[in-house]
């Protein structure tokens, strides 16, 4: 058996098309503002990709590229101005930040209604309370991908490997909200394979190349590989990207996301959907003022 591939591109295209239609219905294009500090190549490339996609679907996008030496006070001052500006619907501060800036202070400072990354503690709390809020992009994008391919969630035994605030925890909360029976495994889990073998739906967000091998997977399970690992090519060849799931898992699983090209495209598409949601919420609030 070879697992059904679950490429991200068709699902991301569907979500982008929905977002474009929602943006067109608003009085003004939803406006996303991204802030990055310094020139970390990955951050530069992520922000550039998000900016380009935002424009493609009819959103406005502004990027503040600030020097690495920007102080925390200066960054908080910019966030306060963006919070107060009715023409700004979504604010994203690209992580990681330089060591002299507190990530906590910055994430707390963003207006929760404009927090399109879904990292503000108020949005985290709403998520766990099962109330509507802006949801973290990678986990929400994964749920969209599962729905796009018609894969069952309710009643399924779901195992999430990884407990980060960005992926593992919010993903577990979203699966719980959709009536899955959820287990979170992590670096201190004893006999990880025994836990993952229970999963109808196995979602892996660790950052360790090929951690999940075929004998750790229940035959027929749906496997979502969130990991992105850069590994050197064989014999000093060109480095390439690979997931947390060993390619041989395709011989056991029922369905499997590729890396790259699986979960990755969903994250940007969901960010833009969140920006449209923020703009819709703000438009209805302005109307009712
Ligand atoms: P993280 O480092 O914050 O968290 C990793 C988690 O894995 C931790 O909770 C840890 O407990 C767990 N872990 C570590 N070793 C383990 C082991 N041996 N067995 C079981 N669990 C173990 O990472 P993150 O930010 O959640 O990212 C995880 C991966 O997902 C990374 O490869 C990252 O690049 C990728 N990622 C991809 C996207 C995307 O859009 N596709 C988005 C975010 C993160």
Confidence at residue 289, expressed as pLDDT on a 0 to 100 scale: 59
Confidence at residue 234, expressed as pLDDT on a 0 to 100 scale: 80
- Of the three residues 112, 128, 161, the one that is the final residue of a domain is 112
Residue 118 lies in a domain: no
Residue 7 lies in a domain: no
- Of the three residues 97, 112, 127, the one that is the final residue of a domain is 112
CA-wise closest residue to 228 among 214, 216, 240: 240
Distances (CA, A) of 183 to 53, 77, 176, 203, 221: 34, 41, 10, 10, 15
* Residues listed for the chain: 289
Work out which ligand 1 atom sits closest to the CA atom of 186. 21
Any idea of the CA torsion for 114, 120, 125, 130, to the nearest 10 degrees?
40
How much of the chain exceeds pLDDT 90, in percent? 95
- Of the three residues 112, 128, 145, the one that is the final residue of a domain is 112
Count up the domains in the chain and report the number: 2
User: Residue 156 is part of which domain span?
Assistant: 136-266
Any idea of the CA torsion for 112, 108, 93, 34, to the nearest 10 degrees?
40
Residue 65, pLDDT > 80, answer yes
pLDDT tens for residues 114-137? 999 999 999 999 999 999 999 999
Between CA 8 and CA 266 the distance in angstroms is 6
Q: Using the mean position of ligand 1's atoms as its centre, give its distance from the Cα of residue 136 in Å.
A: 15
pLDDT tens for residues 273-282? 999 999 999 9
96 plus 158 within the same structural domain: no
Q: Report the residue among 136, 140, 207 best suited for mutation to probe ligand 1: largest number of ligand atoms under 8 A from its CB.
A: 207
Phi then psi for residue 98, to 5 deg, are -60, 155
Determine contact, residues 80/109, Cβ cutoff 8 Å. yes
Residue 50 among the catalytic residues: yes
Instruction: Name the band, by pLDDT with cuts 50, 70 and 90, for residue 287.
Output: low
Q: Does 170 sit in the ligand 1 pocket, CB within 6 Å? A: no
Residue 142 lies in a domain: yes
143 plus 239 within the same structural domain: yes
Tell me how far apart the 2 most distant CA atoms of the chain are, in Å.
65
Residue 22 lies in a domain: no
Helix (H, G, I), strand (E, B) or coil at 231: strand
Distances (CA, A) of 122 to 40, 113, 150, 273: 29, 10, 31, 19
Instruction: Name the band, by pLDDT with cuts 50, 70 and 90, for residue 288.
Output: low
142 plus 260 within the same structural domain: yes
Which CATH number do you get for residue 248?
3.40.50.720
Residue 13 lies in a domain: no
Other Cβ atoms closer than 10 A to 182: 20
């Amino acid at each position: 058996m070879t697992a059904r591939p679950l490429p991200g591109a068709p699902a991301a295209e569907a979500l982008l098309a929905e977002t474009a239609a929602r943006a067109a219905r608003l009085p003004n294009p939803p406006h996303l503002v991204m802030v990055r500090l310094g020139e970390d190549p990955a951050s530069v490339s992520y922000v550039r990709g998000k900016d380009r996609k935002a424009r493609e679907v009819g959103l406005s996008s502004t990027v503040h590229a600030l020097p690495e030496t920007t102080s925390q006070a200066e960054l908080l001052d910019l966030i306060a101005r963006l919070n107060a500006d009715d023409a700004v619907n979504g604010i994203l501060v690209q992580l990681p930040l330089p060591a002299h800036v507190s990530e906590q202070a910055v994430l707390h400072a963003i207006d929760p209604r404009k927090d399109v990354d879904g990292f503000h503690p108020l949005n985290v709390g709403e998520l766990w309370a099962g109330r509507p809020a802006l949801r973290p992009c990678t986990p929400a994008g994964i749920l969209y991908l599962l729905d796009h391919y018609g894969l069952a969630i309710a009643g399924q035994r779901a195992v999430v490997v990884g407990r980060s605030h960005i992926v593992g925890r919010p993903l577990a909360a979203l699966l719980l909200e959709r009536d899955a029976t959820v287990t979170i495994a992590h670096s201190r889990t004893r006999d990880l394979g025994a836990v993952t073998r229970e999963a109808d739906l196995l979602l892996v967000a660790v950052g360790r190349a090929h951690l999940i091998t075929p004998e750790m997977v229940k035959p027929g399970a749906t496997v979502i590989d969130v990991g992105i690992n850069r590994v050197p090519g064989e014999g000093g060849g060109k480095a390439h990207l690979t997931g947390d799931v060993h390619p041989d898992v395709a011989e056991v699983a029922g369905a499997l996301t590729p890396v790259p090209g699986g979960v990755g495209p969903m994250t940007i598409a969901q960010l833009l959907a969140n920006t449209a949601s923020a703009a819709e919420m703000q438009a209805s609030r302005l109307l009712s003022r």
